[in-house]
Each structure stands twice: as structure tokens, then as C-alpha cells.
Amino acid sequence: MRKVLAAAAAIVAFAVPADAVFGQQPSTQQPSLPQLVTNESTVAEVTRPAAFDIKDPMAVLAYVLGSLPQRVTVYPTENYYYFKFVHAGVPMAGNLRLDPRDRDKGKVYFAYYEDSADWKKGGFEQALELDGKKNVVVERVEPLLYRISYQGTSVLFALNDVSQIKPPAGAISPDERLIGPVFDESAMRFFLVYNSKAKVFHYVLDETAPVPDGLQPLPRSDRILVGKRTGFAFYRDHRLDRKILIGVFEQNVRLNSYFDGPFDQLPDNFIEGETLRQAIVDSEPSLKGQIDRLGYFPKDDVRYAISPYMQYRNESDLLQVHRCATDRRVPAAAYYRCFVMDDAGPSTVGRPVALRELRGKSR
């Protein structure tokens, strides 16, 4: 998984004032006018002379920390703080991550790279682990609040406290258990649930707060709604009053953008005990003894990806989910397997698992 080199937003995109309330969600802030971005400011930015060596990661770290306010909020629930800047006319992106496995040991992960684009492949990138050996000090100030200091500059990183966000009554079926609330870097919020009867995971849209997107129904099925900003596609469940994430736009996955889906923003700080590992092993018994409690393969430091949704390329790809959910040949017990896709390949975006199983039985 390439998330240590994840796509990013503007360097101040997740910053909040120094006197902001810890754990405050964006939806609780007072209404304000949108930020105006002009071509004039863009031209000034891309023509600005380089002020530091982009190949010196410690110089880049000093620039990043020095550009931030004294306190910022890390909204995504896998604890990545994303940033973006232009260096010598080249768009750069990166992140700082406070991994729950070792942040209390004084470690932080720092990565930056040339931002992705359709017309180019690869590019310069750096990724490294930082601690006292590099004169970087990481201190736990209080639960979910960490101070990162380097060369006399200190910034407080307040991790997003979503512990009190609960799904509304009736949004989770008796066969499901809540793994935890997810705050994606797209600013979309979800509840990650596991259905032990169907043995599948779902990302259920959190509608306990205003949804930061305009969801528009497809002309050919109003059960499917697609976000005008994110491209996230949802299905209105026939059985419960909720929307299940069924697709993300394939190009966003390929470019590793903000909108590549919530598979990389699990609720790490709030997963209780063995809840996640038990669910993963229940869905894939072959993984027993292979992963830790957060779903990592310790030998390779790679994480099991929970991405049941489709990587769609056009509207017709999404319609197969509706066909599955309304197909009378699909057993009632397999209904929720309509919202989980089989493996995608170079010529397919994947299809509902329940349809694949149905066709397999008919042979």
C-alpha cells in the first residue's frame, strides 16, 4: 500500500486556529465565506524561486513545520496530515503520519513526492522515519495530542477524536457490528461495519452531520447517488435507512487522490481490542495468524485493504449493483454481497460478488 506517499491537499487544508477546540468537527464551525482562489495567486506561486533544496528532506520538514500554525487538526482517522506546495514550478504533495503503533516511542513518518498526473509516470519522492536520531522530537502531550519539534519550531497535532460519533438507530443491522467511525481525507464520514452473516465489510455514509458533497441520483436508477465533488457512489439500501458506498471513480484511485476511497483511513485510534482482526479473519480464514490487531502483516508492514467498493469508470458500471440488489434469483442471505465487488483487472472494474456466485451456481 502506497499510503505513506498519499495524495494531499493544500498545506493549510487541515489547519485550525491555535485556540480551536480539540476534537471539534468541521461541521460545527461558524458559517463563513468560501476561500477565493485566483489565477493571479496561482501564477505567483508557480513562478516563485526555489528557497530550499527539494532533495534535502530535513530542509523540506523545516519548511513544512514552519509554514503551519502552532496547532493543527489531523482529520483523517489513519492519522495522516496532508500537505501540498509548488517547488520550482513542480507541484509536490506529502504527509506526516503519527502511527499508533510507535508514535508514543517518539516516531513520525514523513513523505513527499511529485504530485500525480495523468500525463506523467513516477517522479521524485522521499519517505523516511523520523525520531530523535534526526533531531526530531515527538512528544505525547495528552491522549490524541502530539507535539512535533525540529530546529526550534514546534507544532501541536491534534488527532481527530471521533469516539463519540455513533450511527443512528436502525442504521446497523442485527447481523452487523461496528468496527468504528471513519473520517476520510475527502472530508466524507463513514461507519465501517462488518456483516458476520454475509461475511462482508461496508462503509456506511455518516449522515449524523451535514454531508460535504452534493449527491445526485443517476437517471437510470435513483437508488444510486454520486457525489458531485468526490465522485463517491452510494446505494440506498432497500432494507435499512442508510447509504452504502459502492464505488469510487477509477481515475482517482489511479492518481492516488483525495477521492480514492476510505480504505486507507480506518479508525485506528478507536478500534477496540481484537474487533478488526476477528472480522478480517472471519471474512478470510486463511489470514488467521498472519495479521496483527490492526490488520497489518508484520513481516512486510503491509496492511490488509478493506475496499469492498467498485472502481468505476462510467455510470453503467454502477448499474450492475442495482441489478444485483433487485435480482430475485439472488438469495435473501446474499443481498448484502451485492455491494461487495470481486477483484478488478485491467479490463474490468469488478462486479458484485453475489452475481458472480449466482452465475457460478447456474453452470
Instruction: Tell me the per-residue pLDDT of 258-312, one tens digit each, with 9 for 90 and over.
Output: 999 999 999 999 999 999 999 999 999 999 999 999 999 998 889 999 999 999 9
Q: 259 in a domain, yes or no?
A: yes
Q: Is the pLDDT of residue 318 over 80?
A: yes
Bigger pLDDT: 114 or 20?
114
Domain end: 105, 131, 159, which one?
Answer: 159
Q: 107 in a domain, yes or no?
A: yes
What is the count of structural domains for the chain?
2
Residues 77 and 166: their CA atoms lie apart, in Å, by 15
Instruction: State whether 92 and 223 are in the same domain.
Output: no
> Cell 472494474, residue?
349
Are 312 and 248 in contact by the 8 Å Cβ rule? The answer is yes
Q: 170 in a domain, yes or no?
A: no
Q: 98 in a domain, yes or no?
A: yes
Q: Is the pLDDT of residue 6 over 50?
A: no
Residues 140 and 44: their CA atoms lie apart, in Å, by 38
Instruction: State whether 218 and 336 are in the same domain.
Output: yes
Instruction: State whether 90 and 35 are in the same domain.
Output: yes
Tell me the average pLDDT across 9-28: 42
Residues 351 and 344: their CA atoms lie apart, in Å, by 8
**Residue 243 — very low, low, confident or very high, per pLDDT cuts 50/70/90?**
very high
Q: Cα-flanking dihedrals φ and ψ of residue 88, to 5°?
A: 50, 40
Domain end: 127, 159, 191, which one?
Answer: 159
Instruction: State whether 181 and 65 are in the same domain.
Output: no
Q: What is the H or E stretch that residue 361 is in?
A: helix 353-362
Instruction: State whether 31 and 145 are in the same domain.
Output: yes
**What pLDDT is attached to residue 350?**
78
Q: 77 in a domain, yes or no?
A: yes
Instruction: State whether 257 and 197 are in the same domain.
Output: yes
**What pLDDT is attached to residue 22?**
34
Instruction: State whether 42 and 98 are in the same domain.
Output: yes
Amino acid at site 193: V
Instruction: State whether 187 and 140 are in the same domain.
Output: no
Q: Is the pLDDT of residue 3 over 50?
A: no
Range of the domain at 16: 3-159
**What pLDDT is attached to residue 360?**
66
- 164 half-sphere exposure, CB direction, 13 A CA radius: 6
Residues 109 and 128: their CA atoms lie apart, in Å, by 6
CB within 8 Å of 144: residues ≥ 6 apart: 22, 23, 158, 159, 160, 161, 269
